[in-house]
Amino acid sequence: MAGIVNYVKESFGELKNNVTWPTWAEGQNLTILVAVFSIIFSLAIWGIDTVFSSVITTYFDWIS
């Protein structure tokens, strides 16, 4: 149990002293950037899925 407590204390110290945190404005900008790219990526996946679904449906309609 002491090992877990020591790990948590060291992790907290690492986060507090050695990690360079972004400014609030930079964090907001990066959050917006991630949201925009997530939306773009999900739309691309949806488009590819729609095309493949249509191709597969057409193929099975054609062979039956």
Distance CA 14, CA 21 (A): 12
Task: Determine the residue type at 44.
Answer: A
- HSE of 60, CA atoms in CB hemisphere, 13 A: 5
2 confidence band (pLDDT: 50, 70, 90): confident
Whole-structure pTM value: 0.67
pLDDT tens digit string along 15-25? 999 999 899 99
What confidence score (pLDDT) does residue 23 get? 97
